[in-house]
Amino acid sequence: MGLQNEKIAALSFVTAELNYLTPTPNRPRTYTFEPPPAGEPKSNIIPEPHSVPVHDIRPISKTVSLDREGFALVRQKSSVKDFYNEDEVKNIYYPEAERLIKAATGADRVLVFDHTVRKRVQGAADVRDGSPRQPVARVHVDHTERSGPQRVRDLIPDEAEELLKGRVQIINLWRPIRGPLLDSPLAVCDARTVKPGDLVASDLVYPNRIGETYSVKFNPDHQWFYVPRMMADEILLLKCFDSQADGRARFAPHSAFADPTTPADAPPRESIELRTLVFRKN
């Protein structure tokens, strides 16, 4: 169940291609490093493109929420001058993000544990070599029922079991570095329209550990949204895990996509995303 038909019909949209998971009997798996083990492809995930309407969030931005749809649009002017400067991001942007998440969720504690800067380069592969990453044009969720709690155990081992007695969320903050963003925007799916069977646990293999994300199978009920001409002081909050299984949104699929209305001379997308652990005792 997502937006009522008459409400979603009133929203402007673009028709765009999103890459879902082609159903396979094998467990989806991607290696994060080069070269992968001998004889193994870097990924066994085969994309299944589907053309879907991606609706404008702006007219409903005051009513969408992390707990209902699994995403929210907020504003925050950052004091960061250079998002490519690692120290500046960690020393200035991390605290800004923690304050924003606390205000948005009423959390008792927020821990930013990771960030990724992306700059689209036509034809470039997405490699983890310290350079800006490429947009991920594949429908996915960053964490799963299993890997969400494991993240807490990995990052805060001494307090993990006590923290996991309360509510734990993993919320991403995604923003353009420069705006208006015209190229390769981010599409987010209303979590209420996603059935459990649409989410397929997939291995993300690192040199020293195996993470788990969700790939997503196509479902025509999915309702997709984006922020046209998103500005650098706008942030999409994305729910990637919630320990509460009481009907609130828990997993919001998302994907970069090629907007058919993007001008040919549009500057390439530059963005930054932060991943946060969000704790609340009740």
Give pLDDT, residue 281.
87
What residues are paired with 157 via a beta bridge?
Answer: none
How far does the chain reach from its first CA to its final CA, in angstroms? Answer: 27
Give pLDDT, residue 238.
98
Which one-letter DSSP state was computed for residue 12? -
Q: How many CB atoms lie within 10 A of CB 140?
A: 22
Dist CA 146 CA 214 (whole Å)? 11
Give pLDDT, residue 151.
96
Each residue's pLDDT, cut to its tens digit, for the chain (282 residues) gives 788 877 898 899 999 999 999 998 999 999 998 888 888 999 999 999 999 999 999 999 999 999 999 999 999 999 999 999 999 999 999 999 999 999 999 999 999 999 999 999 887 777 776 678 899 999 999 999 999 999 999 999 999 999 999 999 999 999 999 999 999 999 999 999 999 999 999 999 999 999 999 999 999 999 999 999 999 999 999 999 999 999 999 999 999 999 999 999 999 999 999 999 999 987
Q: Which residue has the tokens 């036509």?
A: 122
Give pLDDT, residue 122.
84
DSSP string, 62-115: TT--TTTTSEEEEE-----S-TT-HHHIIIIIHHHHHHHHHHHH--SEEEEEEE
Give pLDDT, residue 126.
79
Dist CA 70 CA 242 (whole Å)? 10
Contact between 140 and 126 under an 8 Å Cβ cutoff? The reply is: no
Give pLDDT, residue 240.
98
Phi and psi, residue 9, nearest 5°: -65, -25
| CA-to-CA dists, residue 222 to 45, 85, 200, 264, angstroms | 21, 37, 15, 29
Contact between 216 and 200 under an 8 Å Cβ cutoff? The reply is: yes
What is the fold of 5-280?
Jelly Rolls (2.60.120)
Give pLDDT, residue 131.
74
Contact between 241 and 251 under an 8 Å Cβ cutoff? The reply is: yes
In the Cβ-directed half-sphere of 85, how many Cα atoms lie within 13 Å? Answer: 9
DSSP string, 20-70: EEPP-SSPPEEE-SSSPSTT--SB---EEEEEEEEEESGGGTTT--TTTTS
Give pLDDT, residue 132.
83
